Amino acid sequence: MNAPLREPSFRESVDLMFNRAVRLMDLSPGLEEKIRVCNSTYTVRFGVRLRGAIHTFTGYRSVHSEHMEPVKGGIRFAPSVDQDEVEALAALMTYKCSLVEVPFGGSKGGLRIDPREWNEHEMEQITRRFAYELAKRDLINPSQNVPAPDMGTGEREMAWIVDQYRRMNTTDINASACVTGKPLNAGGIAGRVEATGRGVQYALREFFRHPDDMKKAGLTGGIEGKRVVVQGLGNVGFHAAKFLSEEDGAKVVAVVERDGGVVNPAGLPIEYLKSHIAATGGVRDFAQGGFVDDGASLLEAECDILIPAAMESVINLGNADRIRAPLIIEAANGPITAGADDILRQKGIVIIPDMYANAGGVTVSYFEWVKNLSHIRFGRMQRRQEEAQQTLLVGELDRLLRETGTGLGLSEKFKQQYVHGAGELELVRSGLDDTMRTAYQSMREVWHGRKGVDDLRVAAYLVSIGRVAASYRSKGL
């Protein structure tokens, strides 16, 4: 009797996928090992006096690779946080930054806590103490280690962290760059909150520009009308679903949340659904869709595009053979285990991998870091000058058309759109779009042009590991 297959852990999945790629590369064993392992992991246990007693919390900050500095990666607040998870996420950050050509090494942080158990004031005390423990060891520093939001954290926590860093480093003129994902009024950048979801949209747009790639997934046409299932309507899932449905004409036919799932074959109104979740804590009783108790079963629903956008390992050996979506885009980190990945590939399902698909967050974090170091918002110097030049051109064209006596002229709508200069948000979106397009093209070139590469994940690893290896070689290692 055959023993049941064991599901690899998240960290093991990352290592297995890394190994699949390096088998196709000509790396020395020493260099391969240097790229694979985490350089260091710091574990901190600190106490905070809350509710009349001292509570001890455990946190981590892992640095996977310092082939480029600073290193970059989010801080996660969740009860499930452990060293293995943080190290796996740090490794993914190295490969992700390399793939999208953002000049950072990979890092990740986590605090083992359920934020729902504490009020805002208590969360601030806990976050500031965690930030203090990391910053005094240079694990938060504009030139060495730059955190960002992740699951369970957001702008609020980043504002507390940057303020704590400032209190400890009162003369650091670049203090704002010690963390990204900050609110706009604390040195943040326009478009950061939407960035990861926007990146998912741009990734899908680029995929659908290539008929050969669509053919591999058995899809035709464009995004418009495609049936989408989204698992997790947090920041990433919400923005991806919103942009794909409102701007690209996709139909989000199902959403999976903690308390179950909601279905509407005609398409769910994402803004209304998000408001309902905020008001009630879940998707139950949403008037514009049918409720499904077993939300996870909707991962197996018939659709064109499946977007897992919450936790890792939601598609695993237990459900992989029942997945029916021909195209999966990993908006979350590690939503597909290594074992499930094998099954899905054998079924001919195309997977747009996490290290590419959710790189919008770190890309715009890079823009924010550059903005903080330059001490000026994007567009401030050139926007009005561009508008003045374009107004001059439009005015001259209008004059020439009137003088011909044909009655022709430029429409007011065209003139307004043409004359409008790019502000920070437009420039951020433009930079993100360019990044996602360029990175996808580097992956597909390997996918279609290199022997033995039959999926985008291996292609992504080959591109990113190759760049990390080149960086180490150039250092003389």
The answer to whether the CB of 17 falls within 8 A of the CB of 459 is no
pLDDT in tens, 3-55: 456 788 888 888 989 999 999 999 999 999 999 999 999 999 999 999 999 99
Q: Which amino acid is at 369?
A: W
Interior/surface letters 35-66, b for 16+ CB within 10 angstroms, e for the rest: bbebbebeebebebeeeeeeeebbbbbbbbbb
- C-alpha–C-alpha distance, residues 331 and 266, integer Å: 23
CA of residue 349 relative to chain centroid, distance: 22
The answer to whether the CB of 257 falls within 8 A of the CB of 283 is yes
Helices (H), 194-326: 195-207, 211-216, 235-246, 270-280
Using alpha carbons only, give the angle 166, 167, 169 rounded to the nearest 5 degrees.
Answer: 60
Beta-bridge partner residues of 54: 49
Mean pLDDT of 220-241: 95
Q: In what order do the strands lie in the sheet with 53-63?
A: 40-50, 53-63, 105-112, 71-78, 145-149
How does residue 230 score in pLDDT terms, banded at 50, 70 and 90? very high
pLDDT in tens, 239-293: 999 999 999 999 999 999 989 999 999 999 999 999 999 999 999 999 999 999 9
Is 108 one of the catalytic residues?
Answer: yes
pLDDT of residue 350: 97
Is the pLDDT reported for residue 477 higher than 70? no
pLDDT of residue 3: 45
Rounded to the nearest integer, the mean pLDDT of the chain is 93
Q: What's 298's DSSP letter?
A: G
- C-alpha–C-alpha distance, residues 371 and 176, integer Å: 10
pLDDT of residue 5: 64
- C-alpha–C-alpha distance, residues 251 and 301, integer Å: 14
pLDDT of residue 1: 40
Residue 241: CB atoms within 10 Å: 29
Active-site position among 72, 96, 108, 226:
108
- Between the alpha carbon of residue 157 and those of residues 131, 151, 153, 403, 455, the distances in Å are 10, 11, 6, 60, 37
Mean pLDDT of 139-155: 95
Look at residues 118, 426, 287, 342 and name the one whose alpha carbon lies nearest to residue 279.
287
pLDDT of residue 9: 83
pTM: 0.92
Is the pLDDT reported for residue 62 higher than 80? yes
pLDDT in tens, 283-339: 999 999 999 999 999 999 999 999 999 988 899 999 999 999 999 999 998 899 999
Please state, for a pLDDT cut of 90, what percent of the chain lies above it.
83
- Helix, strand, coil percentages (3-state) for the chain, rounded to 5, are 50, 15, 35
Mean pLDDT of 344-366: 96
